Amino acid sequence: MTVGTVTAFTGVATGRIDWTPYLMGGGIGVLSWAVFAIADDPLGITTALSAVAGFAAMPFVGAETVWHNSYWAQTIPSLSYGSLFLVGVILGAFAASVGARRFQFEAVPAVWRRRFGPSPTRRFAAAFIGGAIEMYGARLAGGCASGHGISGTLQLALSSWIFTIVMFTTAILVGSYLFGDSGER
Amino acid sequence: MNLPVTGSALLPLGILFGFVFGWLLQRARLTDTGVIIGQLRLRDYTLFKVMLTAIIVGGIGVFVLHSGGLAAYHIKPADLLAVVLGAILFGVGMAIYGYCPGTGLAALGTGSLHALAGAVGMLAGAIAFAFSFDWIKAKLLPIAAMGSVRLPELTGIPDLVWFAGLFVIGFAALIALEYRGRA
């Protein structure tokens, strides 16, 4: 289906419409077919990341404590499909950014700098705290924006639709409050 | 080849499928914090466009695969108190971090150093969760637990009607926003 057909179909003057997000979203949809049928393991991040966190915890609390923990007993730290998937995500984005000549070290993003200033320490501290809260929430809910937000919703799971709606409502309220006065993006 | 693939043969597929996912996230510009925050401020609808299309395309395909016995569903349990509390925490964290877990990891590959700080934070959050799991399992998960239910069984409305509704309502909203130059 060409842009022209869609234009005629919708009656929208579309010179400006960028179809990339729809195409990439469609790509993620097709990837979902493959992971369901071939790997029997829906797209998701935080279950695998929890297993990796078991390794990260070992130097601090000792391997024995990790192996005896009731959560890691069911989310076993191991070199698995899920943990390699995480490595693949980093590599794929790296390849795409290099291919598009968009690879760039970034300490403080523009949207943050406009609102909270240029301090990398402040941005790193906020990212650390935000990441920790986000991950705790994802584990409490049993999934993230991928595991619930895409894989769960596409299976029409009740839990995933509730998660996604509550999550975006909260994120939009908090995000608008935090960044509301930072001008245009 | 027998499907699904199991055992050690699955390991290289982890890298491959992850690679494709990370590649798509970068090409969709979701590795840019500005795009994620732009969505939360309702200035840039890239994230909604990607997710809506993925849900419809993925959902219809997986429904067909499942109907043909070629894919199993993996429905997360609707432990509603934990899901709602977790979603609220997740939303707060996402607004501060500027990424979700997947886009944050992908951003790490594009050179985002603050995404790395957030990824270390995610590990800390996961460790904190593991050590509070016994309490959560005993006190929170059983409250308002509805089990692993799907909307079609719960409502009696067939799968394809849900996807048709999503397609019509979702894309009507996005096209309207595009037309107004707001998306």
pLDDT tens figures, A129-180 = 999 999 999 999 999 999 999 999 999 999 999 999 999 999 999 999 999 8
User: A83 — contact with chain B (CB < 8 Å)?
Assistant: yes
- Please compute the mean of the pLDDT values over residues B3-32 and round it to a whole number: 95
**CA atoms of A24 and B64, how far apart (whole Å):** 21
Nearest CA-CA partner of B167 in B54, B33, B69: B54
**Closest approach of chain B CAs to the CA of A9, in angstroms?**
11
- Tally of residues, chain B: 183
* CB atoms near residue A107 (< 10 Å): 18
List, for residues A97-112, the tens digit of each pLDDT value. Answer: 999 999 999 999 999 9
**Interface predicted TM-score (ipTM):** 0.96
Contact state of B10 with A81 under an 8 Å Cβ cutoff: yes
**CA atoms of B149 and B156, how far apart (whole Å):** 12
List, for residues B20-50, the tens digit of each pLDDT value. Answer: 999 999 999 999 999 999 999 999 999 999 9
Q: Is the dihedral of CA A51, B83, A175, A27 positive or negative?
A: positive
Contact state of B106 with A92 under an 8 Å Cβ cutoff: yes
User: What are the Cα distances from residue A48, in Å, to A51, A73, A79, B179?
Assistant: 5, 13, 10, 40
* Chain A residues inside the 8 Å CB shell of B101: 45-46, 49, 134-135, 138, 144-146
* DSSP 8-state symbol, B112: B
**CA atoms of A154 and A30, how far apart (whole Å):** 12
The conformational region for residue B79 under phi > 0 = left, psi -120 to 50 = alpha, else beta, is beta
Q: What is the pLDDT of residue A15?
A: 60
**CA atoms of B30 and B52, how far apart (whole Å):** 14
- Please compute the mean of the pLDDT values over residues B74-90 and round it to a whole number: 97
**Closest approach of chain A CAs to the CA of B3, in angstroms?**
6
